[in-house]
A and B are shown apart, each in its own frame.
Chain A
Amino acid sequence: METTLIPMQERTGGDRRIIDDLLPQKFGTRGMIWTGFLLVICLIGIYAYYRQLRYGLVVTAMRDYVSWGIYISNFVFFVAISLVGSLITAIFRLADVKWSTPLTRIAEIIAVSAIVFASLIIIVDMGRPERLLNLFVYGRIQSPIMWDVIVIGTYFFLSILLLYFPLLPDLKILARHKEKTGKALNRIYRFLGSFWKGTAAQFKISDRSINILCVIIIPVAFCIHTVTSWLFATTYRPGWDSTNFGAYFISGAFLVGAGGVVVAMYVFRKVYHLEKYITPLHFDKMGKIVVMLCLLYLYFNVNEYLVPAFKMKKPEENHLKNLFTGEYAPLFWFAIVVGMIVPTLILLFKKGRRPVPMFIAGMMIVVGAWFKRYLIVTPTLLHPILPMHDVPENYMRYFPSWEEWAIAMGSLAGALLIITFFARIFPIIPIHETITEEHEKDKLA
């Protein structure tokens, strides 16, 4: 994407209006209540984690059968939603999709916050966080867990860079509006980007760097989710023993990521009054993408469940029957119907691609996707190929303890808190890029 230089003296009233509209705003009453609510959930989660550290993993409901419970489901969910950074930012940027500009930063911050908590929740699942070091000291490169650690760390740094480079021109604009942003925030802006002068040489390096990032982040993003799927697929268990898992996970990740962006688009548009920037056109276009992703994910689901069900091999039988008609059937059909089919039906129609129905469909996709991850991880563990003998009855069932719920919900609240604070400190829609696009439109007009 070519960048136009906009010297201060050339700035028009239109530019000033855009800057005024997009500068970060202070929390209102609703913002304070929302932040307080998230903080309370985080604090409950921290207390639950303190209990887990003090008393051990015995405070969870995980036992010898289900050793990957809600934490790993949550981890897979976070990894999935983080893929959106590469979809909206990298793929759209490389494809020169202009309409996606107001959505890029939303997608990038969702990706960063999700990947931060994906890393943290894995440490929570370990039970003994100090043993994380052993992974590096005694790590085996043959293990998919090791690949996951490497690729998550790499994706985190790439996502940070992808967030930072396009932010540089905005930091200069923010630093200039000290009277509106406040002294404390101004210090942050100056620390992060006081060196940005907006020279042609700086833009050239920045644009090239963003292009390189967009190219490299796509395979890394694909790797992160493929490797996460391999954590399961390299294990011989009913429900996981699939060669299709990488593609299945990636399609699901794109869907939940896009659903997450739709929800965030609606909320930011409503709360920060960004109707001029996030328009019904954006919802319409995102709606079409979401329909395509829903259908793609449904296709992979048909492959993952219908083909094994057609063969109904003995080890798969218990697992599949449990999902289709057994204990997990309500959750399974909820994830399929509410998480994929109903959003598709809503978004197929133009009226369904308006902001409010889109928000509802987005919420359905995100909630459905969370439960879908739970269904991928947990039920299969209840049906091992070699059942254990003489285990207590409660080993054969799993329902997360309150500590697990609190930590999982705390991590979700923590991710939302990062997004909330980011939107308070930085512009959630790129100011400089919006101005540049406006200038380009004016030129064309």
Chain B
Amino acid sequence: MKKISWHKCFLWLALMLFSGLTGLSQDSAKKELLVDLGYFMPANRVPYLKVNTKTKIEKRFLPVPGIRVTVYMDSAENTLATVTTEQNGSARINFTPELKKSWDAAPTHTFTAVSEATKEFDEVTTEISVTKSKIVIDTVADAETRSLRVMVMQLSDNGWIPANEVELKLGVKRMGGELMVGEEESYTTDSTGEAIAEFKREQLPGDTAGNLTLVARVEDNDQLGNLFAEATVPWGMRMIVQHKPQARTLWATGEYAPVWLIATAIFIIAVVWGTIFYLVFQIIKIRKIGLSHPA
């Protein structure tokens, strides 16, 4: 019989223990958290910020809910809010009236988002710098053509100035999305901050008055953030709503169920429940016989 080599056994044990510990340490390594901060200015009104937290799992970015993020404006003393990301990994930060003074003080602001460290993720800091800006939609229409003149302006120390080389999307609002006004997917502002697009959507159904809603959108601009504006124009066809009676189908509302289905259901229910009532009546009959019978 071979002798057991205790040295070798010990070496193997040590190796296994070491590899196990290495494995454990790999498991406990924290994942990388990505924090996105976005600035949004809807219809030239009150802006807001949006923070998104996500992580990469198996080559896919998945939202990370429940991360506490603190957002500052310009400096750590000027806290905008501390929010917790929701199930979709997103949280919205609204500007409070108390911040108006600081907001009005400069044309450009820097926003910093700091996520709190958790068991899974380390602290992450993200920063964006945004210049106040606005979109103005103007329309030009003659007998043959209709055009949109969209102007993007940004605030400087000297007041509003044109923002050139800004890429923007121009569309018309439809149910569930926006339709491009022309053939171009996007337009870029010129040195006067203006982009012109010809409206080529003829005979587009509008509302009952024939109104369409035009939309101008700047998305993820490094300097201006996300801007959005809309204007209503009477360039569509008037929609005449005809209230047709609902057809009797399997997918209609309850009162428009197919007649054959209602008839079948009523027949089956009547037969079965008729039998149940008959049987209850039989119990009453048994009871009557029993009560009239001497004990």
Contacts and interface: CB of A to CB of B under 8 A. Distances in A.
Interface of A: 63, 138-142, 147, 150, 154, 157-158, 161, 164-165, 168, 194-197, 199, 201-202, 205-206, 208-209, 212-213, 216, 220, 390-393, 395
B254 A139 contact: yes
Contact of A196 (B251, B276, B290): B290
Given A154-B276, A216-B272, A392-B62, A205 B257 contact: no
27 contacts: A139-B254, A140-B253, A140-B257, A141-B261, A142-B254, A147-B265, A154-B273, A161-B279, A165-B283, A194-B290, A197-B293, A199-B289, A199-B293, A201-B289, A205-B282, A205-B289, A206-B282, A209-B279, A216-B272, A390-B89, A391-B62, A392-B62, A392-B63, A392-B65, A393-B57, A393-B63, A395-B87
B63 A195 contact: no
A343 B257 CA distance: 46
Given A141-B257, A142-B251, A202-B289, A209 B89 contact: no
Contacts of A195: 286-287, 289-291
Nearest to B277: A157
B241 interface: no
A205 B287 contact: no
B257 A142 contact: yes
A191 to B, nearest CB: 12
Interface in B254-295: 254, 257-258, 261-262, 265, 269, 272-273, 275-276, 278-280, 282-283, 285-287, 289-291, 293, 295
Contacts of B276: 154, 157-158, 161
A202 B286 contact: yes
SS class of chain B's interface: helix, strand, loop or mixed? helix
Contact of B261 (A142, A197, A213, A393): A142
B197 to A, nearest CB: 30
Interface residues of B, number: 36
Interface of B: 57, 62-65, 87-89, 250-254, 257-258, 261-262, 265, 269, 272-273, 275-276, 278-280, 282-283, 285-287, 289-291, 293, 295
Given A196-B290, A209-B282, A395-B87, 13 more contacts: A140-B253, A147-B265, A154-B269, A158-B272, A195-B287, A195-B289, A195-B290, A205-B282, A209-B279, A216-B272, A390-B63, A390-B89, A393-B63
Contacts of A208: 282
Given A141-B261, A205-B286, A392 B254 contact: no
**CB-CB nearest 3 A-B residue pairs:** A195-B290, A140-B254, A195-B287
Contacts of B254: 138-142
B279 A212 contact: yes
A150 B64 CA distance: 43
A393 B290 contact: no
Nearest to B61: A390
Contact of B290 (A63, A164, A202): A202
A86 B88 CA distance: 49
B290 A150 contact: no
Contacts of B88: 390-392
Contacts of B293: 197, 199
B107 to A, nearest CB: 34
Contacts of A154: 269, 272-273, 276
B283 to A, nearest CB: 8
Contacts of A140: 253-254, 257
Contacts of A220: 272
Contacts of B57: 393
A205 B285 contact: yes
Given A142-B257, A154-B276, A392 B87 contact: yes
A318 to B, nearest CB: 15
A127 to B, nearest CB: 17
Nearest to B88: A390
B129 to A, nearest CB: 27
B122 to A, nearest CB: 19
Contacts of A205: 282, 285-286, 289
A79 to B, nearest CB: 17
B144 to A, nearest CB: 42
A172 B37 CA distance: 79
A392 B57 CA distance: 11
A386 B283 CA distance: 55
Contacts of B272: 154, 158, 216, 220
A201 B283 CA distance: 12
A76 B14 CA distance: 53
A269 to B, nearest CB: 32
Nearest to A195: B290
Contacts of A158: 272, 276
Contacts of B279: 161, 165, 209, 212-213
